Amino acid sequence: MNKPLLQVTNVNKRYGAGCSHCEDSKSISVEDNRCTVCGSIWACLDVSLDLHKGEILGIVGESGSGKSSLVKSLYFDDEITSGIATISTYKQGEENIFTESAQQKRYIRNHLMGMVYQNPWLGLKMSFSSGGNIAEKLIASGTYHVGAIRERATELLDHMEIPLPRMDELPRTFSGGMQQRVQISKALANNPPILLLDEVTTGLDLSVQAKVLDLIRKIQRELHIAMIVVSHDLGVIRMLADRTLVMRHGRVVEQGLTDQILEDPQHPYTQQLVHSLLHV
Ligand SMILES: Nc1ncnc2c1ncn2[C@@H]1O[C@H](COP(=O)(O)OP(=O)(O)O)[C@@H](O)[C@H]1O
Ligand SMILES: [Mg+2]
Ligand SMILES: [Zn+2]
């Protein structure tokens, strides 16, 4: 068995001061992730996962289940409370990336990961052109040659089916679907082996959503990039993910092949999710 590209072990993420009561995760009710003593929220509780080269791992769960906290932690947007993550292509997979220096974390972000946010304003500089956004990411990862940058930007925008003249326009003026496609192009600019996508199609019209999901599948096939796709919508996960993790109140309550989870969900919460997907 190959070592996973990304291995996450027992990640905890707390919002709030914490106290001696909630230090032990077993003292936090599975029906809620708020500490009854200090009121801290445990957004992620002992979350572990493996992501293998070239696969799409889905994370599904209702709003507030800790999905964004998890991916934001992995991208170092947010500091975790405790836990380990290793990347097999980084220091032979022997270093916990969460405890690396700020400089090393920047290296990991710039070379090994891409992130696509639900809100395009978080992932794009709206005062830069689409091409400028891609250039920014390329420069961060060490590509300075203007011709090379322009060529790569053209290729990426073309991948995401964005008309070339749009390269010099501000994404602020684009439709929501097109903003997400520019955000994905930017996230892919440095050719990262790992791409994190947090509710990328949430809030888009269904037809626009279908187009973005199609493009995500296309780039995954062409670039063999490993992805973590986060969504509260099991329909999105069904379309994209090979394997799926179900989160509830900060915990992983079920995981397995997506088909298996859809056909034979084990946890009552997953059963409810699957039921509502199939009966709308
Ligand atoms: N900055 C924050 N401060 C305090 N609580 C937060 C913060 N961000 C998220 N939370 C809480 O953490 C829990 C998980 O949130 P989140 O990770 O955004 O869930 P999801 O992405 O699954 O909707 C929720 O209870 C949320 O209210
Ligand atoms: Mg979220
Ligand atoms: Zn507490």
Determine the Cα–Cα distance for residues 178 and 53; give it in Å rounded to an integer.
28
pLDDT of residue 2: 78
Q: Whose CA is nearest to atom 21 of ligand 1?
A: 68
Read off the DSSP letter of residue 98: G
Ligand number, closest to the Cα atom of 15: 1
Query: Which ligand 1 atom is the nearest neighbour of the CA of 34?
Result: 25
Q: Does the pLDDT at position 30 exceed 90?
A: no
Query: Which ligand 1 atom is the nearest neighbour of the CA of 62?
Result: 22
Ligand number, closest to the Cα atom of 251: 1
CA of residue 67 to ligand 3 center, whole Å:
21
Ligand 1 in reach of 248 Cβ (< 6 A): no
Determine the Cα–Cα distance for residues 25 and 7; give it in Å rounded to an integer.
21
| 60 strand-pairing partners | 231, 246
pLDDT tens by residue, 7-22? 999 999 999 999 999 9
pLDDT of residue 277: 86
Ligand number, closest to the Cα atom of 45: 1
pLDDT tens by residue, 39-81? 999 999 999 999 999 999 999 999 999 999 999 999 999 999 9
Q: Whose CA is nearest to atom 20 of ligand 1?
A: 64
Q: Minimal CA–CA distance to 147: which of 133, 158, 131?
A: 131
